[in-house]
Amino acid sequence: MKRDHEHGISRRAFLSGVATAAVSGAVGLPAKARAAGEGAFGTLVDLSLCDGCEGRDMPACVEACRTKNAGVVPEPVDPIPKPFPRGKIEDWSKKQGVTDRLTPYNYLFIQKAEVELGGAKKTVFIPRRCMHCDNPACATICPFSANHKYESGAVVIDQDICFGGAKCKEVCPWAIPERQSGVGIYLHILPTLAGNGVMFKCDLCQDLLLKGEDPVCITACPRKAMLIGPKEQILAEAERRAEAMNGYIYGKEENGGTSTLYVSPVPFELLDAAIEKGPGRPHLGKAPRKMAKTDPVAKAVMASPVIGLVAGLAAVAGARMKSGKEGDHE
């Protein structure tokens, strides 16, 4: 079976760990559950294993991802309509070959960090993509619900209804989604007044997950630096590995928790300071969940029907008491 084959790879990766017995069950849910999209996945990126595929033209995961997603972005119209009033167009269609940052055509890239740890120079390679957060603002506050978190844990943009307003990018702590102008539904509505393209990012190979297969970046990695499995088991494995290497985890608390856990022997503050950051090149620093600030008042909203109801009953009781006293009623 295909799934067993796929999981063979994940399993071997797990076996390279120490506590083999404890984790060998971690591999994958039954295919049926997966196909139904039940159960959340976690992924683990072990930075002690990734060597950036030095010596290859392109890192294997990046290449696999690009191959799988080739053709996802349709050909933009020419000329691309100028959005009123700013006229800012984002067109990557002539730069599809860029692989050293996130673009609408490139959902995974490798960051490089040269750090000094305990007196020794060390190079760390960090595959970067969407973190598939636990409560992703990018998805929950999309005004068209074009971006959605599935039960599988994958956060997926529906390119057919995305207007490219880039709100998701704005609220993402890492500004992951990237815009391609000149494609998508906005062209058919008010192209110069509303919308400006479509947002693109990693979808955790959701189509493969539903078939019971693993994301291609994970299967492609020659060093088995990435894993996928049931979320709790991936977390347990990340913690086990971090402890074994006396290392650190990134992605567990960030943005309120994500389904991507980086495990590194080097503290993430050092990595964050060493990597090149900027547009399309996300940081590795603190990432508080911005929406957390709205949680208390959102809970008040959920309580407001009850408040109104009780106040209404109280007012009725008050009015009846008053009329009872005046004795001319009922």
Partner 1 sequence: MSRQAPEGKNLVKRHGLVVLIEHWAIAISGLALILTGLFELPIARRYFITEIPGLRWSGDYIFSLWLHYAFSVVFVGASLFHVVYHGLMGHRAILPKRGDLRESWEVIKSFFGKGEEPPFAKYLPEQRLAYAGIALIIAGLIASGLVKTWKNLFAPDMDLTLVLWATWAHNLFFVLFVLAFVAHMAAILIKPNRPMIRAILTGWIRRDYAEHRHPLWIAELAGRNDHPAREQEAPTRERPPDGEAGGENPQGLS
Per CB under 6 A, residues contacting ligand HEM are 140-141, 143, 301
**Restricting to residues 130-159, which ones interact with ligand SF4 according to CB under 6 A?**
130-133, 136-138, 155
Closest CA to 7 of 224, 153, 203, 155: 224
Distances (CA, A) of 168 to 84, 89, 147, 161, 205: 20, 17, 8, 14, 19
The residue from 167, 201, 241, 283 that contacts ligand SF4 (CB under 6 A) is 201
Closest CA to 180 of 192, 190, 195: 195
The residue from 198, 217, 261, 271 that contacts ligand SF4 (CB under 6 A) is 217
Question: Looking at beta carbons only, is 166 or 204 nearer to ligand SF4?
Answer: 204
Question: Looking at beta carbons only, is 113 or 130 nearer to ligand SF4?
Answer: 130
228 binds ligand SF4 (CB under 6 A): no
Find all residues with CB under 8 Å of 250, minimum gap 6, and list them.
261, 262, 264, 268, 284
Minimal distance, residue 193 CB to ligand HEM, in Å: 16
87 to 126: interface string for ligand SF4, x by CB under 6 A: --------------------xx------------------
Token pair belonging to 141: 């506050």
26 binds ligand SF4 (CB under 6 A): no
Task: Select from ligand HEM, partner 1, ligand SF4, none the partner in contact with residue 201, using the beta carbon and a kind-dependent cut-off of 5 to 8 Å.
Answer: ligand SF4
Main-chain dihedrals φ then ψ at residue 260, nearest 5 degrees:
-115, 120
The residue from 85, 118, 119, 278 that contacts partner 1 (CB under 8 A) is 85
Question: Looking at beta carbons only, is 96 or 140 nearer to partner 1?
Answer: 140
* Strands (E) located in the chain: 41-46, 109-117, 120-128, 147-149, 155-157, 178-180, 198-200, 226-230, 248-250, 260-264
Find all residues with CB under 8 Å of 262, minimum gap 6, and list them.
45, 47, 126, 249, 250, 251, 268, 284
Token pair belonging to 190: 């008010």
- In this structure, what is the dihedral angle of CA atoms 206, 279, 227, 220, given to the nearest 10 degrees? 80
**Restricting to residues 204-263, which ones interact with partner 1 according to CB under 8 A?**
none
**Restricting to residues 32-51, which ones interact with partner 1 according to CB under 8 A?**
40
119 to 158: interface string for partner 1, x by CB under 8 A: ---------------xxxx-xxxxxxx--xxxx-x-----
Give the whole-angstrom CA distance, residue 203 versus residue 206. 6
Minimal distance, residue 140 CB to ligand HEM, in Å: 6
Upper half-sphere CA count for residue 322 (Cβ side, 13 Å): 6
Question: Looking at beta carbons only, is 69 or 259 nearer to partner 1?
Answer: 259
Main-chain dihedrals φ then ψ at residue 174, nearest 5 degrees:
-110, 5
Q: Which stretch binds ligand SF4 (CB under 6 A): 20-28, 64-72, 116-124, 300-308?
A: 64-72
Minimal distance, residue 18 CB to ligand SF4, in Å: 26
- 């955790």: which residue's tokens? 204
User: Is residue 229 within 8 Å of residue 204, measured between CB atoms?
Assistant: no
Minimal distance, residue 182 CB to partner 1, in Å: 17
Minimal distance, residue 186 CB to ligand HEM, in Å: 16
Distances (CA, A) of 321 to 313, 315, 327: 12, 10, 10
The residue from 185, 204, 234, 271 that contacts ligand SF4 (CB under 6 A) is 204
Question: Looking at beta carbons only, is 71 or 87 nearer to partner 1?
Answer: 87
Other Cβ atoms closer than 10 A to 48: 17
Q: Which residues bind ligand SF4 (CB under 6 A)?
A: 64-65, 68-69, 107-108, 129-133, 136-138, 155, 172, 174, 176-177, 201-205, 215-217, 255
